[in-house]
Structure 1
C-alpha cells in the first residue's frame, strides 16, 4: 500500500469515528490500529500499537503535565485568582471599560500560572461576572472578552501546550518555547484589550476609579506571592536551575503552601482538586499515548514525507504554503481541542515548516496560537462553552460579539507567522535557540 492510500485509511477512519461521537483518544487509537492491520499481521499490529502507546507516555518530561494541572487546580480553589483579579483591577481601573480590561489582564496572569484556558475562563469569569452586571455591562460583551482572552495563558508560560508540543516535536527545548510564548501571548492580550476599548468607549462603560496609594500597595502585596510563582518556575527552568518537570513540582509545593497560608482550601476541596487532576491527567495521557501510535503508523507508511512533497509541489511560494497550513489549522481548531490537535498535526506539518526554513520553536508558537482560536469557536470550543455557562449567556448571543476578537487574533497569527522575531527574538537573546 502506498502512503496516500495509508493516509486515506488512517484519516478516513479517524474522522468517521470522530463525527460518530467516539472520543478523540479512542478514535486515534482505533484508526492507527486499522491502518497498521493493512501493513502487518493482526498480532504484530496489536503489539506494535500497544508498545508505541506505552513508549509515548514513558517520558520524564511529560510528568510536568499532571503537576502543572494539579498546581492550576489548587490555584483555582486557593484564593489566588481573586487576588490576581484585584491586582489587575488596580492596573486597569482608570480606563473606560475597566472591568473588561481587568478580565483580560486577569486571564493573562492566572492563565500563565494555571496553564489552562478553561480554568482561567471559569475562575476569572465567575469572579468578575456579578460585578460587571452591577455596573451595567452587557453580559454578552463581558463573556466575549472573557472567551477571547482566556487562551492567552496557553502562550504565556508556564504552559502545558508547549510541553506537549516539545514531546511530539522531537525534544524541542521547553525553555525556548516558554520564552517564545511571551511576546505573542502579551500581544494577543493587547489586541483584545484594544478591541474591547473601542466597544467600551462606544457603550460608555465606566471606569472603576483609582485607588489610594495605600490600597494599591495592599493589593500589590497580596498579589506578589502568586506573581512570584511565575518568576520562580519560569526563571528556574530557563536558567537551568531545574527541569520543566521539577519546576512543575515546585509549582505544586508552592501553591499548596500558599493555600495553607491563605487558609482558603478545606480538606474536602483538596480531595476534589486531586480527583479533577487525576481525571484530567488520565484524559491527556491517553491522548498522548494514542497519538504516539498514530505517529508511528504515519512514519512507517511515509505519510508526513508524502504530504510534504505533495504540498510543496503545488506551489513554490513559501507564503502560499504557510497560508494553506494556517487555513487547515484554523479549520481543525473548530472541532478539535488544542492537545489532540498538537499531537496529530505536529508530525504532519513540522516537516513542511522545517523544509521551508522555519525554526521548530517558531512553528510551535504558530501552531499553538492557531489552536487558541479554536477554543473560542463552535462547535467544540471548550472555553466558549465554559465562559457562556459562567455568564449565563447563550452561545447565539456571544458568537457575533466574538467576531472582532477572532479577526484581530487572526491578524496577529499572520504577523507571528511571517515575522519570526516576534517568537524567536526573546529566546534568541537569551541564547536558548540551537
Structure 2
C-alpha cells in the first residue's frame, strides 16, 4: 500500500512558497496537522474549532485548522496530495512491468532479443532447420479473442497449402504434451489427398502450464525423428514460448508507456490549471473580482521599475465611494456589496488597456495604476470614471450631498527615478483624494 507523508509534501520549496501566497492572499491564519494531529505548520495557537481534511484518494493524511477560508487550502493540498499518490502508483505499476519483462528476458540470451512476433517466428524457423530436417514449419498462436489458432510464421510454402494434421495439433493443445510420429503415409492426408505427411513433430508452446500455441514440423519423407530431436526442440520451444510472452508484454508496454505519457501530460495540465486557479485566487478580490491589494502592490512595483528603465510617466488614481458607511447603514451590507460590484464594473469598462490595473485597495476604496500615462491622461480617466458612476444613478438617499452614489478621486503622476519610491506616488494620490473629499466629494483632485 502506498503511503504519503504530508510533512514531506509540504517540505517542497515551491509548495511552501505557494502555500504562503495562498495564506497571504486569503488573509487567514492556519495550522496544518498531520494524521497523528501533530502540527507541522503554523504557530500552534487555537485558531478555530473547524478542521478541514487533507485527503489523498480515500485516505486522510492531515488537516487544515482554521475558518471557512481554510477549506480552500485543504482542498488544494488534497489535490496536490492526490497527484503525488497518482505519480507513486504509476511509478510502482511501471516498475512491476519492467521487472516482469526483465525476468522473462533472462530465460534466453538469444531468442529473447526478438521484440516482435514476426522476428521471433523467422528466428524459430531458422533454428528448427538447423536442428532437424523439415519441409514445412508452422508457428501458430492461439488468438485470445476467438480461441482459434493463428499462423504467425511459416517456412514459406505456398499459401494455399492446407494443414493436414489438425487432429494431432488439437491433441497437443489439449494435453500440453509434444507428439512425434514417423512413417505415417496412410494415416495423415488432406481432404483431397494431394498432400501426405510421412513424419512430424508437434510441440506445445507453454507458459506457466498454459499452452499458448504450437510449433508444427512436418516432412513428406520418412525422417525418423528421434527422442534427441524432441529434446532439443522442446528446449527451443520453451525458450520460444518465453520470448513470445516477452514480445507480447513488450507490445503491451509500448501501449502502456504511451498511455502513461498521456496520463502524465494530462496530470501536468491539471496541476498547471490548479496552480493558475490558486494564483488567481490569491491575487483576486472575491467580492468585486478585481485585483486585490496584494496584486496591486506587486503590479505597482513592476510598473515602477519599468518606468525607471524606460523613463516614462506612471499615474495612480485612488477612488473612494462617497459616504459608503452611511449607504451600508441604510441599505444593508448585501446592498453595499452589490454597490461596490457595480462601481468596480464601471472602472473595468473605463480602464481597458492591458498594461493598466484596477484593484480593490481596501473597503470602499479602489486604485488604478496607469502605465505610461501623463497627468492629462490620468485626469481624463478619473473624470470618465466619476461621470460614469454618477450616470448609473445608484440610489443613495442618505448621502447628504447627492441622491445617487458618487465617487471622489485623487490623482498622482510622476516619472520615477532610482532615488524615488512608489510610496510617494501613493501618498500623493491619497492626499489628493482627501482634498477631493474636503471639497465636497464627487470630484477629482490633483496634487
Report the TM-score when normalising by structure 1. Answer: 0.21
Structure richer in helix, relative to its length: 1
Task: Give the greater-gyration-radius structure (CA).
Answer: 2
Report the TM-score when normalising by structure 2. Answer: 0.21
